Amino acid sequence: MSGKSYTEHSISLRNLINLIRSMGTISERTISAIESVPRHLFVTEALWHKAYEDMTLPTSDGQTISQPTIVARMTELLDVQSGMKVLEIGTGSGYQGAILAQLTKNVFTIERIGSLAAKARQRFRELGLNTVICREGDGTKGIPDKAPFDRIIVTAGAPVVPDSLLEQLAMNGKMVIPTGPREGQVLERYTKTATGIVHEQFEPLLFVPLIGDEGWKQ
What is the residue-wise DSSP string for 107-164?
A: EEEEESSHHHHHHHHHHHHHTT-TT-EEEES-GGG--GGG--EEEEEE-SBBSS--HH
Catalytic residue among 22, 60, 66, 115: 66
pLDDT for 144-199, tens place per residue? 999 999 999 999 999 999 999 999 999 999 999 999 999 999 999 999 999 999 99
Q: Note the pLDDT tens digit of each residue in 111-122.
A: 999 999 999 999
Q: Which CATH architecture has domain 63-205?
A: 3-Layer(aba) Sandwich (3.40)
pTM of this prediction exceeds 0.85: yes
Query: What does the domain layout of the chain look like in residue ranges?
Result: 63-205
Q: Could you confirm whether 66 is annotated as catalytic?
A: yes
